[in-house]
Amino acid sequence: MIKQTLFGMVVAMAPMLAAAHSKSETTTPADGATVTEVPELSMRFDDPMRIISVTLSSPDGDVEIERETGMDPAKEFLAMPMEELAPGSYRFDWRGMASDGHPMQGSFSFTVAK
Amino acid sequence: MTGLAPIDGVVVLAIFAKALGYGAALLTMGGVLFTVLFAKRAEESVLRLARHLAVGAALVGLAVLALRFGIRAARISGMGFEGATDPMMLGFVWESPLGTAAIWRGVGELAILAILLPRVGKWIALAGSLAVAISFAQVGHSLGELRAPLAVLLVLHLLAVAFWVGALLPLRKAALTTTGADLLHHFGNVASYGVGVLIIAGAALAWLLSGSVAALFGTAYGLVLLVKIVIVSTLLGIAALNKLILVPALRAEKRGAAIALRRSISIEMLAVVLILLATATLTSVTTPPINL
């Protein structure tokens, strides 16, 4: 009973999202931006971050991207779309580990206009 | 709400595993401390329980350690539970501070098994307890020059908590033995100092990590910390009740005193479980204000 209640409390907290550690991160394209072309996808961190998995998704499904940055910890992450992005909305999701060992995740969204 | 990381199913599992790992570590360290500190005052049956508690908790701790590696690998991989056995992901976890902590924790918990050996075994186990406490200082946020004082405070805080938590089950048993009242009275006196260390070290840690009182109310870390403090205060109230009323009643051989005391200790154990869950949540999904 106690376990269920606590589980419920934790799940209820889920919508209150805020990305710990990644507060000062800047991205290209910027989160929420509307752009005409996306030559690259990049993120910048204060501390080296080991980015492990990345996905770029659109309403039509996942979009293939090529990583420039490997899985070693880095302050800057760079990837490129394999093909020119069609107009529409996109969301970039990443997971990884901070230098202090904490599992990290984050995302940013942008829109490609004609 | 600032400083709260996204929470999903794997994170909930990670929190429960962490709480279980905390519980196992505290019980195993505490079982050893009890065995060493009360070797002369406690009856053999009570000491045997403390030793078995230390060994059982050390074994559970080792299993949880392996489980947490898998959970951490799954969390960073983005592959879900498949990532738990991925050698590359496990390698990343091993290279992280969790790997260093796992060595201290694992070696410490193995050393604690030596408590089953006669004579010198007790001292090997005591060194093991210290290693387990030190393991907790290996993980956490990058805190720069604050690292050393934080580590010392954390180790002291944990040893004091372990002394208390590990003594609960043996004391609950001792309440039924003939020498139990004296042991409980003696424990109350020693624990007064232990609680002092626990509170001072805990408050200093909270102060160093929060930076300000305002941060307690505006951040996820502060709110979970406040929940933890409320439960700890309740626990301290129960402990005071035991020391000032229930243990004297047991010494005076009042009727029902042993039952009341045993029930009270059971409630303390429940409070400890809640505190461990709050602490696991605090250290899993929130960021100390000083890092924001």
pLDDT tens digits, B142-161: 556 678 888 999 999 999 99
Residue B190 has pLDDT above 90, yes or no: yes
Residue A36 pLDDT > 90: yes
Nearest to B5 among A11, A19, A94 (CB): A19
How high is the pLDDT of residue A18? 35
The residue-averaged pLDDT of B11-17 equals: 90
pLDDT tier at B139, thresholds 50, 70, 90: confident
Contact B210, B216 (CB under 8 A): yes
Q: How close A106 gets to chain B, by Cα (Å)?
A: 9
Q: Taking CB atoms and an 8 Å limit, are A20 and B281 in contact across chains?
A: no
How far, CA to CA in Å, does B13 sit from each of A2, B16, B17, B23, B234?
15, 5, 6, 15, 27
Does residue A102 carry a pLDDT above 60?
A: yes
Q: Which residues in chain B (63-82) have CB-CB distances under 8 A to chain A?
A: 72, 75-79
Of A44-58, B2-16, B65-79, B275-289, the one with minimum mean pLDDT is B2-16
Phi, psi of A47 (to 5 degrees): -115, 155
DSSP lists the bridge partners of residue A33 as A110
CB contact under 8 A, B92 and A95: no
Cross-strand pairs, A108: A92
Instruction: Pick the most confident of A98-107, B43-52, B79-88, B277-286.
Output: B43-52
In three-state secondary structure terms, A1 is coil
- Given pLDDT bands bounded at 50, 70 and 90, which one contains residue A23? very low
B42 within some domain:
yes
**Full domain range(s) for residue B268:** 9-291
Q: Which residues of chain B neighbour A21 with C-beta distances below 8 Å?
A: 287, 291
- Mean pLDDT confidence for B217-238: 90
Residues sharing a CB contact under 8 Å with residue B132, sequence separation 6 or more, in sequence order: B25, B28, B29, B61, B104, B105, B108, B109, B112
B8:A14 CB<8 A: yes
Q: Which of A35-44, B38-47, B139-148 is the least confident region?
A: B139-148
Residue-range domain boundaries for chain A: 24-112
A42/B214: higher pLDDT:
A42
Mutate to test the interface with B, among A97, A104, A105, A108 (most CBs of B within 10 A): A97
Query: Prior bond to A29 cis, omega within 30?
Result: yes
Q: Please provide the average confidence, as pLDDT, over all residues in chain A.
A: 81
Nearest to B75 among A19, A93, A103 (CB): A103
pLDDT band at A106 (very low <50, low <70, confident <90, very high): confident
For residue A95, list chain B residues with Cβ-Cβ distance below 8 A: 75-78
Between A5-9, A11-15, B19-23, B196-200, the lowest mean confidence (pLDDT) is in A11-15
| B9-13, B111-115, B261-265: the lowest-pLDDT one | B9-13
Q: How many Cβ pairs closer than 8 A exist between chain A and B?
A: 89
For residues B261 and B175, the answer to whether their CB atoms sit within 8 Å is yes
Q: Is domain A24-112 in CATH 2.60.40.1220, yes or no?
A: yes
CB contact under 8 A, A21 and B291: yes
Q: What is the pLDDT of residue A88?
A: 94
Of A49, A107, A91, the closest CA to residue B6 belongs to A107
What value does the mean pLDDT take over residues B226-233?
A: 92
Q: Is residue B181 predicted with pLDDT exceeding 70?
A: yes
Determine, yes or no, domain membership for B265.
yes
User: Tokens 């805020």 map to which residue?
Assistant: A18
Q: Is residue B4 part of a domain?
A: no
**B1 lies in some domain:** no
d(CA B205, CA B224): 15
Residue B47 to residue B265: CA distance in whole angstroms: 18
Cβ pair A103:B72 closer than 8 A: yes
DSSP string, B86-142: -HHHHHHHHHSHHHHHHHHHHHHHHHHGGGGSSTTHHHHHHHHHHHHHHHHTTSS--
Interchain pair B2, A18: CB under 8 A: yes
Tell me: pLDDT of B189 over 90: yes
* Length of chain B, in residues: 292
The closest CB to that of A95, out of B3, B76, B88, belongs to B76
ipTM score of complex:
0.70
Does residue A1 have a pLDDT over 60? Answer: no
| Interchain contact B142–A (C-beta under 8 A) | yes
pLDDT at residue A14, as a whole number: 41
Check: CB of residue B22 under 8 Å from CB of residue B276. yes
B103 reaches A (C-beta below 8 A): no
Count of domains for chain B = 1
Q: Can you give the pLDDT at residue B83?
A: 86
Output the pLDDT for position B145. 66
Instruction: Judge: B5–A105 Cβ closer than 8 Å, yes or no.
Output: yes
Mean pLDDT for B85-89 is 92
